[in-house]
Amino acid sequence: QKEVEQNSGPLSVPEGAIASLNCTYSDRGSQSFFWYRQYSGKSPELIMSIYSNGDKEDGRFTAQLNKASQYVSLLIRDSQPSDSATYLCDITGNQFYFGTGTSLTVIP
């Protein structure tokens, strides 16, 4: 079993819809959870961080963390074509783990 499993996609949603991205992890010692966005040919950039159970909202983005079930998710509301990118989850604690990324395409 991989340390981090991320729905590989690709994921396509129409403009204005909700995009849902998910990661599960195996290390129960994980403490910090991040979502990065990576545009083609660019480096990953942080969009959300979450450290405790529950939801965290920032504009159109909501991160959800459930440590008991060992998953973290990212919801993008009112998806825009500019959201088209690869999204990577980063699970950090005893070690550092990145998911393989989910490619999202928002169709105008």
Partner 1 sequence: DAGVIQSPRHEVTEMGQEVTLRCKPISGHDYLFWYRQTMMRGLELLIYFNNNVPIDDSGMPEDRFSAKMPNASFSTLKIQPSEPRDSAVYFCASSSQGALSYNEQFFGPGTRLTVL
Residues at the site binding partner 1, with contacts judged by CB under 8 A:
31-32, 34, 42-46, 49, 51, 88, 90, 92-93, 95-96, 98-101
Q: How far apart are CA 53 and CA 41, in angstroms?
A: 33
How far apart are CB 9 and partner 1 at their closest, in Å?
12
Task: CB nearer to partner 1: give 28 or 42.
Answer: 42
Q: How far apart are CA 92 and CA 27, in angstroms?
A: 9
* Strand 85-92 relative to strand 96-98, pairing: antiparallel
Task: CB nearer to partner 1: give 83 or 90.
Answer: 90
How far apart are CB 32 and partner 1 at their closest, in Å?
4
Contact by Cβ (8 Å): 28, 94: no
